[in-house]
Amino acid sequence: MSVLDKINDILNLFLDLESELSLDEISARTGLNKTTARRLAISMIKSGWLRQPQPRKKYSLGMRFLDYAQALKRETPIVAIAQPFLADLGRVIDETVSLAVWDGKTAAICLSIHPNHPLRVTSYEGTMSMLHQSSLGKALLAELPDTEIASLFRHPLRRFTPNTITDLDALLTHLRVVRKEGVAIDDEEGYDGVRGIAATIKSNGKVVMGAITVLGPSTRVTREKTAEYIPIVKECAARISAALSGRNERERYGSG
């Protein structure tokens, strides 16, 4: 295994599992011996990929990722195209709205717009979205065949709340519903007290480029409100997809 492969395995732990990991946990979960894991971790800290706020304590992702998130935001056309549509969606629903780009395996938040409510859900740009417990992740997973979905989960599905789907077969069954309905719901599956609604963005009706989501506290985003927001989110995703595909948005939706 190359050094690059080993570094990639370490970074993937933070996407798949925890926000913080000890050296023992990194070693056990990657299969690297502790000496190699420590050497790579020290190098990754120097490069900004990892940080260790306290000596001999746990590691977490470094700030270098934010630099790449900003570069991605500048270079990805979908961000500029989606921004006005996402701003409109935020004004209509008055909750946090976010856009994630998708590379077939990971989803990265590259644009977020937050409401003025004192109680709100914060979605940070540069954050990698967990796939099985978020509306964004489930919307994107539903675009893949079952065999590909299964290949993405090398570790057991982590439980975040009592509502998290942790059985792969149950997740696949759930994603068939998402696929059919064209929208994914996070019913307090990632965080207690948070609900989300997401739909994918496609170029030319086929290529999945990313997804948009609405996130809010479950006290405001009730199940009744969720049902009300679903067609609005789907419509916004469709408008972004049309604009991304170079089609005339006004012509397509002018009849309302």
Whole-angstrom Cα distance, residue 163 to residue 84?
Answer: 33
Count of domains observed in the chain? 2
What is the model's pLDDT at position 73?
58
CATH number for position 202: 3.30.450.40
Does residue 229 sit in the same domain as residue 113? Answer: yes
What's the confidence (pLDDT) of residue 109?
86
41 Cβ neighbours under 8 A, 6+ residues apart: 10, 23, 26, 50, 52, 59
What CATH number corresponds to the domain at position 9?
1.10.10.10
One domain, residues 178 and 194: yes
Amino acid at 58: K
- Domain assignment of residue 31, given as a range: 3-62
pTM of the full structure: 0.73
**159 and 57 share one domain:** no
Q: What is the pLDDT of residue 251?
A: 39
Distance CA 238, CA 20 (A): 37
123 lies in the same domain as 30:
no
Q: How confident is the prediction along the chain (256 residues), in pLDDT tens digits per residue?
A: 788 888 888 887 776 545 688 999 899 988 999 999 999 999 989 888 898 877 778 988 887 766 666 666 566 678 889 999 999 999 999 999 999 988 888 888 888 999 988 888 877 766 667 789 999 999 999 999 999 999 888 778 889 999 999 999 999 999 999 999 999 999 999 999 999 999 999 988 788 999 999 999 999 999 999 999 999 999 999 999 999 887 434 434 454 4
pLDDT of residue 205: 76
